[in-house]
Amino acid sequence: MKWTLDEPKYADMVRINFGSLYHFGIYVSDNEIIQFGLAPGRRPHVKESEVEVLSSDAETFCGGQFMEVAKFDKREQKKRFSPEKTVEIARSRLGERGYNMLHNNCEHFAYECTFGKKYCSQTEAVKEFLNNLPLLHVYISTIPDTVSYEKLTPKQRQKEVLTTKDPQRKLERYFVWKLLEHALEKSLHMGIKEAKLRRTPDGKWKSPFFELSIAHTDGTVSVAISREPVGIDIENVSNARDKLSAELILNNDEIGEYKDADALTLLELFAQKESIFKMIGTGVFEPRNIYVSDDPAYVRIERITNKNGEYILAISSKIAEKAKIFNDAIF
Amino acid sequence: MKRNEIKEKLIDIMMGAMGDTDAIEKCTEDSLLSTDLGLNSVGILYTVMGIEDAFSVEFDDVGFSDFKTVGDVLDYIESKLA
């Protein structure tokens, strides 16, 4: 199928462009274009449940954009309904609701009226994107001691960083976000704005397109991007300097096995638990409430060395063993 | 023990956990442990351990994230010493 700027004819599938998306309809005449909802920006704010199949004139449909007309190849011409049947189906669905952006949108509607089955090139493109997401990429970098702070996106993150008073913490929060920008570009070829990052009420950052986790400590920052839920934690090995309290880290079921463990082992367990907590993603972090898994496919521990010293990196994910780790000083 | 004496001891403990910083030395009861004083999760762990040792109390009925500010920690220590 190709899209042209030809004059539309009776029963043509038509579309207009708005931003990165299209709005579709069935052209009957200049005064009657049947479509599932109106293009965003052309309608007052309505809930998805209130969107319905309606008819509008061409001016309303187009909203100042050029109307493109579908030109079918020979195979599509054979498969499509007759023009009369297409219009009959479209008119019979006027007033229908049940709009769903992913499964029952304006493009699905136009295809159904024309070919008798749903198809949406736009959601197919998203599905292909999701299928091509990296399994699990983890990025780690050291950070400089000072910086000239640039603007961050979204504004909520900018505010989070600017209101952090502790200078070291502020630097780490800033640079972990810059590392996330780097990771998005390298792994997903995506800009930070496109990622549509939002902070949940319990303080976690999420994207509708992929899973992520961030961690930072003592001059080193890390970011994980994955198609599956993931949690990471990074701890400086020099923090295993005293006898860590097993009672504060381990629950009753674990204390027997690990109570005589050295400080480094306890620090690894602590990092594992924090990474598991971040993967699960809700509530407050209480290490005694988290059970460390023996399944290597779920939790992976790596030692990371950089100019700042040695670190424990804990990765929790059902595909943790497939994680690719990129340990480069990118700043 | 008076509250300001508890606070001075707590400051020493936090410095032991996170190093000597101006932010910790000059903290107020409203100072946020994480964003104002830079305490990360393992720093909080060491702080809790230090408090248990210094004040002979046990953190047996709270979680790590129950304390947001210096004042929250002081309240808890005071309640345990009462």
A285 vs B38, B49, B65: nearest CB:
B65
CB contact (8 A) between residue A165 and residue B23: yes
Q: How far is CA A263 from CA A62, B41, B63, in A?
A: 67, 16, 21
Count of beta carbons in the 10 Å neighbourhood of residue A279: 23
Interchain contact A5–B (C-beta under 8 A): no
- In this structure, the strands spanning A309-316 and A231-236 are antiparallel
ipTM of the complex: 0.74
CB contact (8 A) between residue A286 and residue B63: yes
Place of tokens 């040695």: A310
Question: Which of A309, A312, A283 minimizes the C-alpha distance to A299?
Answer: A312
Question: Which of A191, A207, A211, A189 minimizes the C-alpha distance to A199?
Answer: A207
> Distance between CA atoms of A302 and A327, rounded to whole angstroms?
11
Give chain A's mean pLDDT. Answer: 88
Q: What is the pLDDT of residues A175-214, one digit of tens each?
A: 999 999 999 999 888 889 888 898 887 788 988 888 999 9
Note the pLDDT of residue B64: 66
Q: What is the pLDDT of residues A230-283, one digit of tens each?
A: 999 999 998 887 667 788 888 888 888 887 888 899 999 999 999 999 998 677
Q: What is the DSSP string of A7-38?
A: PP-TTEEEEEEETTEEEEEEEEETTEEEEES-
> Distance between CA atoms of A44 and A258, rounded to whole angstroms?
61
Sheet of strand A299-306: strand arrangement: A231-236, A309-316, A299-306
Q: What is the pLDDT of residues A134-182, one digit of tens each?
A: 789 999 999 988 888 899 999 999 999 998 888 889 999 999 999 999 9
Q: How far is CA A31 from CA A34, A114, A152, A272, in A?
A: 10, 20, 47, 64
Q: What is the pLDDT of residues B9-61, one digit of tens each?
A: 999 988 888 877 888 888 999 999 888 888 888 888 888 888 888 888 887 66
Q: What is the DSSP string of A287-315?
A: GGG-PPP--TTTEEEEEEEETTEEEEEEE
Q: What is the pLDDT of residues A35-72, one digit of tens each?
A: 998 876 666 566 777 889 999 999 999 988 899 999 99
Note the pLDDT of residue B11: 92
What are the chain A neighbours of B19 within 8 Å (beta carbons)? none
Least Cα separation, residue B3 to chain A (angstroms): 24
What pTM was computed for the model?
0.67
CB contact (8 A) between residue A217 and residue B23: no
- In this structure, the strands spanning A205-206 and A198-199 are antiparallel
Q: Is residue B80 very low, low, confident or very high in pLDDT (cuts 50, 70, 90)?
A: confident
What are the chain B neighbours of A274 within 8 Å (beta carbons)? 41
Question: Which of A261, A259, A284, A263 minimizes the C-alpha distance to A274?
Answer: A284
Sheet of strand A136-142: strand arrangement: A211-217, A220-226, A136-142, A324-327
Going by the DSSP 8-state scheme, the letter that residue A188 receives in this structure is I
Sign of the torsion formed by the C-alpha atoms of A125, A130, A131 and A137:
positive
Amino acid found at A174: Y
Count of beta carbons in the 10 Å neighbourhood of residue A149: 12
